[in-house]
Amino acid sequence: MRATLIGFSAVIMWSFLALFTAASGDVPPFQLSAIAFAIASLPGIAVLIARPERRHALRQPAKVWIAGIAGLFGYHFLYFTALRNAPAVDAGLIAYLWPLLIVVGSALLPGEKLKAHHIAGAIAGFAGTALLITRGGGLTISGEYTLGYIAAFLCAFTWSGYSLISRSFSKVSTDVVTGFCLATSVLSLFCHLLLETTVWPQTATEWLAVVGLGLFPVGIAFYAWDYGVKRGNIQVLGAASYAAPLFSTIVLLVARFGEPGWRVIVACLLITGGAVLAARDMIVRKKA
């Protein structure tokens, strides 16, 4: 329960991703990613400085580093590629298949058993997410967006794969996420220099948004998620991850970046109900 709640705190922090990104001004995506992941590595570096004996956690097999860097950098690279080559609504919805893939894919993990209520909860969460992202409309399927659609699908598989593989590295300390963040920052900087024009935040508010982005949604959230998927209930985390777009919408509404409506209420019921359904075993066990 404790590890699952720590993992779920990452979902809550990710709900501020859209707000901080919107408030960061016109900073290009890869430049923003490079800055944010550099900041994200700072808490881990501080821990390693304060606790030198934990530095041995960085000495991991190549497969651990490949999985971690591919997960963090690969997800963001594919996500930005999808947004550049397909409508944002379509790309966002396709990319958000990853919680459902985690729930279904967890059946392949040792000691895990996929049950009907896990799948039902994940599908309910996806339905609520679809309602939020599409605003009750449909997807605009077009051949000209093929590259964007492919990147979005790969994005979903990348993050779900990273999360499931992290579960199999349960004995690997979360301290190694510090190295993943640093590597992702360097690779994002390379992509920025290759593909974008540098634009710095223009105001103190924009700089605060960038710092907040690096400390929480792109920072502590990844450490919390790593801990949660390694030691918590990964099926519950997968289904509960659909709460991120719901919380994000609520945060944007509170910040007056949008207007409330019936879609938010229905989505809330679907996502919350789906998460509770997926967590049924854990809730019943806790009560017992």
What's the average model confidence in pLDDT over 258-262? Answer: 63
What's residue 68's pLDDT? 95
pTM confidence score: 0.81
Q: What is the pLDDT of residues 206-224, one digit of tens each?
A: 999 999 999 999 899 999 9
Instruction: Spell out the residues 6+ positions from residue 119 whose beta carbon is closer than 8 angstroms to its own.
Output: 103, 104
In this prediction, residue 5 carries a pLDDT of 92
| pLDDT higher than threshold 80 for residue 196 | yes
How much is the pLDDT for 270?
A: 75
pLDDT at 257: 59
pLDDT of the residue at 175: 94
Q: How far apart are CA 280 and CA 116, in angstroms?
A: 11
Which residues, at least 6 apart from 164, have a Cβ–Cβ distance to it below 8 Å? Answer: 102, 105, 106, 108, 109, 229, 234
Residue in the block written with tokens 């992202």: 133
Give residues with Cβ within 8 angstroms of 285, minimum separation 6: none
**Integer Cα distance of 128 and 211 in angstroms:** 30
pLDDT score of 180: 96
- 139-144: long-range pairs with CB below 8 Å, 24+: 139/89, 139/90, 139/93, 140/87, 140/89, 140/90, 141/90
pLDDT tens figures, 77-112: 998 888 778 776 667 777 777 887 887 787 777 777
The C-alpha atoms of residue 268 and residue 199 are separated, in whole angstroms, by: 37
- As a whole number of angstroms, the distance between CA 282 and CA 260 comes to 32
Q: What is the mean pLDDT of residues 41-64?
A: 92
pLDDT in tens, 138-170: 655 567 778 888 888 898 899 989 999 998 898
pLDDT of residue 142: 63
Q: Where are the domains of the chain?
A: 1-285
From CA 105, how far away is CA 133, in angstroms rounded?
Answer: 24
